[in-house]
Amino acid sequence: MPGSEWFKNRPRLLEGVYAGSKAALQLSYPLLKRILPAGWRERVFVWSEEVSKGYLFNCQMCGQCILHSTGMTCPMNCPKNLRNGPCGGVRQNGNCEVIPEMPCVWVQAWQRDAQMGRYGGEIQLLQPPVNRALQNSSAWLNMLEGADAQPPSGWSTIELE
C-alpha cells in the first residue's frame, strides 16, 4: 500500500473518492438509520473516519469536514487551526511558521485546489468559524444530518457577493 503522501498529492483522485462516498452515504443513509441505532451509528462512523481519514489526511476529528474546499488537505493540521489560510508567517521554503520542518498545510491546500476539477476554486470561499462542540464527533453523520453546515446565527446575516 502506498504511503499517504502518494494519495495526498493526488487531490483529483481524492475529490472523486469524496464525491463518490458522499453520494453513496446519502443514498444508503435512510437504510443505515433503520438498521443501526444512533449510538452505534456514531461509534461505527467515528471509528471508520478515524481509520480512513486519519490515514489519508491526518484527520483531527473536528466533526465538520471541509476537505473538498481546502484542496483535500486537512486545515486542522495547521497549528493555528486556520480555516481561511495561509497566515503571513509562512517561511520562504514554504514551510510552517510554527513547525519549521513541516510544509505549510495551506500552501499545499492552495496548490492542490488549483489541480482539482470538481471542487477546484472552492478554497476561495469564506469558511465560518469552527463549531468546537462538534470535536470528536462524526463529520459524515453531521453532514448527513446537516449539523456541520450551521454557522453561528449572527454569521450569516451578511450576504456575501
- Where does this chain bind other proteins (CB under 8 A)? 79-94, 97-98, 104, 107, 110-111, 114, 124, 126-130, 132, 152-155, 157-158, 160-161
Instruction: Output the smallest distance, CB 116 to other proteins, in A.
Output: 14
Nearest CB to other proteins, comparing residues 5 and 159: 159
Nearest CB to other proteins, comparing residues 131 and 138: 131
Instruction: Output the smallest distance, CB 141 to other proteins, in A.
Output: 24
Nearest CB to other proteins, comparing residues 60 and 127: 127
Instruction: Output the smallest distance, CB 18 to other proteins, in A.
Output: 22
Nearest CB to other proteins, comparing residues 67 and 144: 67
- Answer positive or negative: Cα dihedral of 27, 32, 38, 44: negative
Rounded to whole angstroms, what are the CA distances from 73 to 24, 29, 101, 155, 157? 22, 26, 17, 25, 29
Backbone angles phi, psi at 71, to 5 degrees: 60, 30
Long-range CB contacts for residues 18-21, cutoff 8 Å, separation at least 24: 18/67, 18/68, 18/72, 18/119, 19/68, 19/118
Instruction: Output the smallest distance, CB 149 to other proteins, in A.
Output: 16
